[in-house]
Amino acid sequence: MPRHILDEAKIHKNIQQTISDNHRPFVESIIHTVESKPIVVIGMGINPACKNACKLLTKQGLDFEYGSYFKEWRKRNALKMWTGWKTFPMVFVNGVLIGGTEDLNKLIRSNELDKVC
């Protein structure tokens, strides 16, 4: 089921570039990381859910990339807009957003993470 994204035709031409440029270099750097690393966790270092996701991956013996964006709420918001995922962490496996800590834990418990990796 596709998610709702406001059609560009419904955005006034005077603001289309502003929307397109919203933290674009930052989002592009995250896209590059997600596409080039097998497992990426994006979140905030002080968030217990982010810490738990990292612990779960470490316990599985998996290497992962971690990006912490505590003080940069505008950049975090740009990531939420890009992914459509509303909370942190955002866990990517082989370029696919699998969700957050609970979703990661479900994949581990059901032995599905091995299939995704």
Give me the residue spans of the domains in the chain: 8-116
Q: Please, which residues have CB within 8 angstroms of residue 77's CB and are 6 or more apart in sequence?
A: none
For residue range 53-100, list pLDDT tens digits in order.
Answer: 999 999 999 999 998 888 889 999 999 999 999 999 999 999 999 999
Residue 77: CA count within 13 A, CB half-sphere:
7
* Region 8-116: CATH code: 3.40.30.10
- Please say whether the beta carbons of 91 and 104 come within 8 A: yes
The pLDDT of 18-44, averaged and rounded, is 95
- The mean pLDDT value of the chain amounts to 93
Q: Is the pTM of this model over 0.75?
A: yes
Query: Is the pLDDT score of 116 beyond 80?
Result: no
Which helix (H) or strand (E) is 93 found in, with range? strand 90-93
Report whether 90 contacts 65 (CB < 8 A): no
Band of residue 15 on the pLDDT scale cut at 50, 70, 90: very high
Distances in whole angstroms, Cα of residue 43 to Cα of each of 8, 24, 34, 51, 103: 29, 18, 13, 9, 15
pLDDT band at residue 45 using 50, 70 and 90 as cut-offs:
confident
pLDDT more than 70, % of the chain:
99
